Amino acid sequence: MSSLNRQAFAGLAFLIVVLGAALFAPAGTLDYWQAWVFLAVFSSGVVAITIDLAKRDPALLARRIPAGPIAEKERRQKVIQGLASLVFVGGFVLCALDRRQGWSHVPMMIVIAGDALVAGGLFVVFRVFRANTFTSGTIEVAPGQQVVSTGPYAVVRHPMYAGALVMMLGVPLALGSWWGLIVVPMMGLVIVSRLLDEEGHLAVDLRGYEDYRAQVKHRLVPFVW
C-alpha cells in the first residue's frame, strides 16, 4: 500500500472512531442499534469511495486529504470549516443524548429512510468525484483546472454540498432522533456561507466559470436556489 493510501485510510479510520465515540459515549450504552446500522452504512460508503479514488484517481485522493480548518488558507474559511466541524460532531452527540434520555420515538421505517438518505448523499458525492477530478478538500483552483458542467454539475453548481445536505438530513433520522434535525439548518447555513465564498474565488480564478453560472442557474437545490 502506498503512503498516500495509508494516509487516506488512516484518516478514514480516525473519522469513524470519532463518530463512534460521539455516539456511544453520550448515549451511555452500546445497545444503540440505530447507531450501529448508521455506522455500517456510512463506513461502507466512504470506504467504497476511497477505494475507488485510490484505484482510479490518486491525484484526486491526494487533493481530498488536506481538509478542515487547518488546511484552509484564508481566515474566513478556517472559521467556516471550524464551525462545520463543530456542528457536524455536535449533531451526533445530540442524537446520542436523545437516545440516552428517550426524547424521541422514531418509527423503524423512518430510521431506514434516514439510512437511505445517508447512502443517497454519499452516492451524490461519488458521482461528483467521477465527474470532477479537481474536487479539492480546500477552496483553490489547481493548475490546468477546467469548468465541469456534466453529470451532477449539469443540475446544480455545487452538487457535493447538495449531497452533504442530503446526508445530514438523513443522519438524525437514521439515528432515531427528531431533535437531531435542529442541526440540519445550522449545517445548511455553514454550507451556504462556504459555497458563496467559493463562488467568488471561482468567478475570479477559473476561466469559463461565469459562463457556467449563466448556464446552470441553481447553486444547491434544483429549481429552488
**What span, in angstroms and rounded, lies between the C-alpha atoms of 54 and 112?**
30
Helices vs. strands in the chain: H and E counts, helices first: 8, 0
170-224 pLDDT per residue, tens? 999 999 999 999 999 999 999 999 899 888 888 888 899 999 999 999 999 998 8
DSSP state of 213: H
- To the nearest 10 degrees (0 to 180), the angle between helices 3-27 and 33-56 is 170
Quick one: pLDDT at residue 140? 78
Query: How far is CA 95 from each of CA 108, 112, 157, 165, 178, rounded to the nearest angstrom?
Result: 16, 16, 31, 17, 8
Question: Which set of grid coordinates corresponds to residue 128?
Answer: 461528483
Tell me the pLDDT band of 71, cut-offs 50, 70 and 90. low
DSSP state of 68: S
Domains and CATH numbers, the chain: 3-215 (1.20.120.1630)
Q: Name the more confident of 141 and 148.
A: 148
State the residue for C-alpha cell 436556489: 225
